[in-house]
Amino acid sequence: AQSVTQLDSHVSVSEGTPVLLRCNYSSSYSPSLFWYVQHPNKGLQLLLKYTSAATLVKGINGFEAEFKKSETSFHLTKPSAHMSDAAEYFCVVSQTLGGNQFYFGTGTSLTVIP
């Protein structure tokens, strides 16, 4: 069975400080993992994805995530927050073999304080 837990529903950081959004997953098979960002009243945009290649994945807008199988984690980080990073972030897992369903975390709302 697949599931995703986003450990924080809200995260606040000051502009210019690091961002850490935490995600743990459960998967019976080798998972594909994704992080999406959603700005208010918009669709979801893919930030980055892990599909069993390099465990450290670099995405758009300076975000990156590290796949840690031993910890079943896929935390999202950014060295320095920008005001435009304020949004909702979703961690998603899917199966890599024959899978066609995507399992969403409940989301983390990121606030960036000027």
Partner 1 sequence: DGGITQSPKYLFRKEGQNVTLSCEQNLNHDAMYWYRQDPGQGLRLIYYSQIVNDFQKGDIAEGYSVSREKKESFPLTVTSAQKNPTAFYLCASSGRDGSSYNEQFFGPGTRLTVL
Q: Which residue has the tokens 């502009």?
A: 15
Site for partner 1 in 32-71 (CB under 8 A): 32, 34, 36, 41-46, 49, 51
CA distance linking residue 56 with residue 90, whole number of Å: 18
Structure-block tokens of residue 60: 């758009």
In the window 70-109, what residues touch partner 1 (CB under 8 A)? 90, 92, 94, 96-102, 104-107
**Contact status: 28 vs partner 1 (CB under 8 A):** no
CB of 72 or CB of 102, closer to partner 1? 102
Return all residues near 81 (Cβ < 8 A) that are at least 6 apart. 13, 14, 15, 16, 17, 18, 19, 110, 112
Please count the residues of this chain forming the interface with partner 1, following the rule CB under 8 A: 25
Minimum CB separation of residue 58 from partner 1 in Å reads 15
